[in-house]
Homo-oligomer: A and B are copies of this chain.
Amino acid sequence: MHDISPIRAKSGTNQEGTSAHNRRVMIEALRLNGALSRADLARATQLTKQAVSNIVEDLERDGLVVALDAVRKGRGQPFTPYRLVPEGAFAIGLQIDRHLTRVVVVDLVGSVMVRAEANLPLDEPSPGVQTILGLVARVRRELAGISAQSERRLVGLGVAMPGPFGLRESDDKWMMPAWQQFPLLETLAAGTGLNVGLQNDAAACATAERIVGAAHGVDHAVCLYVGYGIAAGLILNGELYNGGNGNAGEIGRVLLSPAGPGSTPLEHRASLASLYQHLGLNPADANLYDKLAALAVAEDPKIMAWIEHAASDLRWSVHLIETIFDPQTVILTSGAPEPLARRLLQAMHPLLPSIADRPGRRLPRLQLGTTDPWAIAVGAAAEPISRAFDPRFSAILKAG
């Protein structure tokens, strides 16, 4: 039958899928709750004690969980809590930015084990990729010195770089057109032998917040990322949403007001690019970060003026995000130094009215996320970890 159009469907599942799913569910339960006894895990996952026992035994043999000391509490036999073994898995995260690249190795619980960075020649991917492969090789060697099993436990390489992806060629050199054209994933996969995934920097930031930050355990959160451009990383229904072409959340490209093609994109007014321009700074300046921090701490009038102005646009961005996504919270993250981010956050208050302004809220409408410049690389690394261990990356489905 059907020799013309391909048959479309989700794939079915079998016992292998069941088991894989249940393993992931247990790992997630431990991630969310810290440490749990087998009995607790049974309650958490709705599985029987026996099933849990078997799976825990498996996980322990695989080196993903360990037993802690037994705890006496109340009546009944003392229980033995289990927790995740951080060195049970590793992933490499790679941030590619306009003039610099960062590589980190994170473990199963999202802690950074190794980090390395290097400058990149602007928009010259061929030599750039060599630099990157060198860094990756270096962190792998370093990791091998820390954990003997490291290579076997390396689950993948996650890449984060500024989006959007796959558009017609751009003449804007800040959009990294040469990198956009370059067969990056293939080259990295070939050069490292690892599974490679790609996301934009805001998405990576959101992933980082989800695994170790403010979005930990929150199913609906949007991460507003103020970097060279601005974008939103979307955690919807507990998972990262990428859109049809990996470009969801590119909020900085929203044209302000319905006026027409002539109007300004949001990120021309409220991004760090606009700040550099406002201050007459060179974005490639190596001391940029420290300079900005100093200016912010000193409450320099020029930077305060920018903050005031940018905050007004960002306030509207939050309003937009709240109105459109109805998240439980919005997290402000930034490539900017913390003092600057903190002042920006303050200047964004009071927030605009929106449907988020409802009775009985449990989380703040807007909160500050990480301002660690390494967060994007960490988020990039978290992606392969999630792919390997998170139940939301449907392990139930049979391999396609």
Contact pick for A10, options B1, B2, B28, B167, CB 8 Å: B28
Contact pick for A352, options B9, B255, B315, CB 8 Å: B255
Given A250-B323, A253-B323, the answer on whether A11 and B241 have CB atoms closer than 8 Å is: no
* A246 at the binding interface (Cβ < 8 Å): yes
Q: Which of A105-113, A146-154, A338-346, A353-361 contacts B (4 or more CB under 8 A)?
A: A353-361
List, in ascending order, chain B residues with CB within 8 A of A45's CB: 9-12, 398
Flag if B355 contacts A167 (CB, 8 Å): yes
Flag if B358 contacts A325 (CB, 8 Å): no
Flag if A25 contacts B11 (CB, 8 Å): yes
Which single residue of chain B is at the shortest CB-CB distance from A313?
B258
Contact with B along A89-131 (1 / 0, CB 8 A): 0000000000000000000000000000000000000000000
Which single residue of chain B is at the shortest CB-CB distance from A166?
B358
A260 to B348: give the CA distance in the assembly, Å. Answer: 12
* A243 at the binding interface (Cβ < 8 Å): yes
- Chain B proximity of A355: nearest CB distance (Å): 5
Contact with B along A196-213 (1 / 0, CB 8 A): 000000000000000000
* A219 at the binding interface (Cβ < 8 Å): yes
List, in ascending order, chain B residues with CB within 8 A of A138's CB: none
- Chain B proximity of A109: nearest CB distance (Å): 16
Q: Which of A16-24, A184-192, A272-280, A373-381 contacts B (4 or more CB under 8 A)?
A: A16-24
A178 to B347: give the CA distance in the assembly, Å. Answer: 37
List, in ascending order, chain B residues with CB within 8 A of A28's CB: 9-10
Contact pick for A236, options B1, B12, B241, B261, CB 8 Å: B241
Contact pick for A46, options B25, B39, B71, B398, CB 8 Å: B398
* A294 at the binding interface (Cβ < 8 Å): no
Contact with B along A367-385 (1 / 0, CB 8 A): 0000000000000000000
* A37 at the binding interface (Cβ < 8 Å): yes
Given A247-B355, A324-B249, the answer on whether A12 and B51 have CB atoms closer than 8 Å is: yes
Flag if B325 contacts A14 (CB, 8 Å): no
Flag if A29 contacts B17 (CB, 8 Å): no
Flag if A324 contacts B251 (CB, 8 Å): yes
- Chain B proximity of A245: nearest CB distance (Å): 5
Flag if B261 contacts A81 (CB, 8 Å): no
List, in ascending order, chain B residues with CB within 8 A of A12's CB: 21-22, 25-26, 45-47, 51
A-B contact pairs, 15 of them (CB 8 A): A1-B71, A7-B36, A8-B29, A8-B44, A10-B391, A11-B45, A12-B26, A46-B399, A243-B326, A248-B324, A251-B324, A253-B355, A254-B319, A255-B319, A261-B353
Nearest 9 pairs of A and B residues by beta carbon:
A243-B326, A9-B29, A258-B316, A220-B244, A9-B44, A12-B45, A12-B47, A247-B326, A7-B44
Given contact pairs A9-B26, A168-B357, enumerate 8 new A-B contacts (beta carbons under 8 Å). A7-B40, A11-B25, A13-B22, A21-B396, A244-B328, A251-B323, A253-B323, A320-B320
